[in-house]
Amino acid sequence: MKIKHIIFAGLALATMSSCNDFLDVDPSSKYGDEFIYGQKSEVERVLNGVYAKAIVDDLYGSAYQSTFILNSDVDISISSSNAHAHDSYARFDCDDQGSHINKFWTAAYDLIELANRFVWGVENGPLYETADAELMQWLGEVKCLRAMAYHDLVVMFGDVPFTFVPAQHREEYIFPVLDRQAIQDSLIADLREISTDMTSSKSVTVEHCSKEFAQGLIARIALTAGGYSLRPDASNARSYGKMVRPDNYLDYYAIARDYADSVISANTHHLSASFQDVFVNECNYQVVNDDDPIFELPFARETSGSTGYIQGPTYSSYEGSTVGSWGECKGGTRLNAFYRFLFRDNDLRREFVNGLWYYSYFTQADATLADSVYIRNDYSVHNNKWSKLWTSPSSTLGKTSTGATGINYPYMRYADILLMFAEADNELNGAPTAKAIDCLTQVHSRAFADGDAAFITAASADKDAFQKAVLDERKWEFAGENIRWRDLVRTNTYAEELVYSFLRYYSAGIQNIGSVSGYEDAINAHDGKTYIDQLPGKIYYHTYSVSENIKKTAFLTAARRSQFYGCHTTTTEPFFVSTYPNTTLQSLRILNPYKSVTQPSKSQITDFGFAADQWYNASFYQWGDDNSGSVKDQCKYSFYGYVRCDDAGNLWLIKDGVLEQLPATITADALPVVRYILPYPSTVIQRSGGRFKNSYGY
């Protein structure tokens, strides 16, 4: 059941298509609560209004997918600025004047307010005493959406204003800031109670909140509550705070394990589809209810959602139009350039997710426009989980389309449930149990043709090995899903991973000008492989079309196949990613982008059946400035608010706003905290009449 149209107007006005039924949403003030919540048809209209509030661009439609995915070893927003910026969230250097935090905050509390009105109206309305299963399911859906918004506010802002009472029933317009632990306890209790009355995924589409999603959300909130978070230092206004976890953190781990186990035991979700197909299905508007997705944000085509416009390869337009029928793709939500080096060999996710090519137009001799494919030799790579370009030609949005793709975004997947169970169970038992190992195995094996049994054996050695394996698996699994930086926060490993993320860029740049950083051995040891001092300076590639490739794969021997990274193939040629349905645009065949290699020989070209084709090369990691003897600004300043390099080549950590030199030997315990917590927007502080104030050195 795919929602096809959503139109916003006023407070909450939408039209939604679901199985060809159009549901008008207009919780207008001209009708009183007694009328609205006394008739199920009106209650359903308000329910759809709550969903409409959740999928606006300032909340989950775009901001959650891009603006507020903070930099890490997985996701990154590159910056070349050596100055403070109001909206510099990803590099930990924003302030309370930023417009995006105000928009996100406002959108989140708009959703919460309408959800509070809905819950209050239903629970105090004439239908509640004799409520049927459908009404209780709707109540559960709204409580889940409310809990989502509050949970994400807590993760991003720490302690926040909290209430379940709608404005019309409160004595004061400004409600107080509550400690995050109390908020999370309230959310868990609220979801625990309503989840028993909710409908299973067997009966409700993943575009609606199900019982399994409610249980999974309890597990996610509990795991967050039991983890570390940044707390303010009340005695020092300049302090960025300190990382703390609650004394009773194991109680939260028990909740997380038990509710994740409830989802697993329900046996309603599985990992049957390949990793690639999960996302390609979303790009093709296929809603799969019994597989990996548990809850997808239900965007409407041509009306809402930027999924696949902000991710995937860039596809540039010319005078507002593209040559192909897919429309412009921004492709600005990117992945760390070194992310692909952190995978294990033969992981199918690596080649699917890390995109090293993009599209633009060129002018032919007759002055007409045509599409062309280019290699992406930049400071980041594209996140190819989602793209408008992966839609089949019959589903394209048109040459002039931009956002509003209607491609769903997975807020929670079954893979997350399995790994949350594995992590919590390991922590509680002090060692991996058979069930925890099985949960990790299900996720890991899906990404490997041979299952990669050696990884599971090594992970099963003890508690610490298993914990690292689970976090590594989450790193490989959830790129672009706003999960990695949150995992690093709650496990108190964010500081260490940020330092190494910075050092990879810095070391590559400094090697480019014929020097060394002195951290190469430490990087290789931390990453468990030798590569940072062996990066390829040139990478060889050529263009091809899918139809042409299918004809010529007969020339490819197994030995040749192992050398190549590519973009398209038939199902019998696994050295290319096989699930991009776009067979119209050209793509690139790339000779091993992980090691320095020589140009393909003429005999190799003949072996591949491309005797007439030309091999091109592009320079990679050219990030050093010969004139200054330092690295390029993008390497210096993309982690600006935590670790950076100055023009003289000095490396600095930022502790409570003060620079201190990065030590030659990195010790995780000695690193300053990461100020990932965002400030309350200045307008919110002003409206509070002084009741709210910022901490963390803001």
pLDDT digits (tens, 9 = 90+) for 205-244: 999 999 999 999 999 999 999 999 999 998 898 999 999 9
Name residues whose C-beta falls within 8 Å of residue 386's C-beta, 6 or more positions apart in sequence. Answer: 279, 282, 283, 307, 308, 311, 312, 407, 409, 480
pLDDT digits (tens, 9 = 90+) for 485-528: 999 999 999 999 999 999 999 999 999 999 999 999 999 999 99
Rounded Cα–Cα distance for residues 636 and 273 (Å):
41
Mean pLDDT in residue range 42-57: 97
Q: Is 628 in a helix, a strand, or coil?
A: coil
Higher pLDDT, 29 or 147: 147
For the four alpha carbons of 496, 499, 502 and 505, in that order, the dihedral sign comes to negative
Q: Cα–Cα distances in Å, from 490 out to 131, 241, 243, 352, 698?
A: 39, 15, 9, 28, 22
**Residue 368 confidence class, pLDDT cut points 50, 70, 90:** low
H or E element at residue 380? strand 380-383
Q: How many helices (H) and strands (E) does the chain have?
A: 21, 23
pLDDT at 110: 98
Mean pLDDT in residue range 61-90: 98
Rounded Cα–Cα distance for residues 673 and 495 (Å):
6
Tokens describing residue 388: 């408008």
pLDDT digits (tens, 9 = 90+) for 436-464: 999 999 999 999 999 999 999 999 999 99
Which residues partner with 17 through β-bridges? 22
Burial (CB count within 10 angstroms: exposed 0-12, middle 13-18, buried 19+), residue 183: buried
DSSP label at residue 205:
-
pLDDT digits (tens, 9 = 90+) for 458-494: 999 999 999 999 999 999 999 999 999 999 999 999 9
pLDDT digits (tens, 9 = 90+) for 261-290: 999 999 999 999 999 999 999 999 999 999
Rounded Cα–Cα distance for residues 565 and 541 (Å):
9
Give a three-class secondary structure readout of 601-648: CHHHHHHCCCCCCCCEEEECCCCEECCCCEECHHHHHCCCCCEEECCC
Taking 90 as the threshold, does the pLDDT of residue 293 lie above it?
yes
Taking 50 as the threshold, does the pLDDT of residue 578 lie above it?
no
Are 116 and 46 spatial neighbours (Cβ–Cβ below 8 Å)?
no
**Residue 602 confidence class, pLDDT cut points 50, 70, 90:** low
pLDDT at 315: 93
Rounded Cα–Cα distance for residues 535 and 527 (Å):
14
Q: What pTM was computed for the model?
A: 0.92
**Residue 553 confidence class, pLDDT cut points 50, 70, 90:** very low
Minimum mean pLDDT among 130-139, 176-185, 397-406, 492-501: which range? 397-406
Within 10 angstroms of residue 168's Cβ, the number of other Cβ atoms is: 10
Q: Is 72 in a helix, a strand, or coil?
A: coil
Provide the mean pLDDT of the chain: 88
Taking 90 as the threshold, does the pLDDT of residue 393 lie above it?
no
**Residue 600 confidence class, pLDDT cut points 50, 70, 90:** low
Phi, psi of 82 (to 5 degrees): -105, 30
Name residues whose C-beta falls within 8 Å of residue 525's C-beta, 6 or more positions apart in sequence. Answer: none
Name residues whose C-beta falls within 8 Å of residue 605's C-beta, 6 or more positions apart in sequence. Answer: 611, 613, 615
Q: Is 316 in a helix, a strand, or coil?
A: coil
**Residue 28 confidence class, pLDDT cut points 50, 70, 90:** very low
Q: Is 373 in a helix, a strand, or coil?
A: strand
**Residue 14 confidence class, pLDDT cut points 50, 70, 90:** very low
Are 445 and 457 spatial neighbours (Cβ–Cβ below 8 Å)?
no
Higher pLDDT, 665 or 576: 665
Name residues whose C-beta falls within 8 Å of residue 471's C-beta, 6 or more positions apart in sequence. Answer: 423, 487, 491, 493
Rounded Cα–Cα distance for residues 260 and 414 (Å):
9
Are 76 and 90 spatial neighbours (Cβ–Cβ below 8 Å)?
yes
pLDDT at 313: 94
Taking 60 as the threshold, does the pLDDT of residue 574 lie above it?
no
Phi, psi of 542 (to 5 degrees): -150, 160
User: 474: number of CA atoms within 13 Å, CB side?
Assistant: 24
Mean pLDDT in residue range 378-390: 95
> In the chain, what is the straight-line distance between the N-terminal and C-terminal CA atoms, in Å?
46
Rounded to a whole number, what is the largest CA-CA distance in the chain? Answer: 82
Rounded Cα–Cα distance for residues 683 and 668 (Å):
37
pLDDT at 467: 98
Residue whose C-alpha is closest to residue 259's, from 462, 421, 369, 130: 421
Burial (CB count within 10 angstroms: exposed 0-12, middle 13-18, buried 19+), residue 682: middle
Instruction: Compute the residue count for the chain.
Output: 698
Mean pLDDT in residue range 603-632: 74
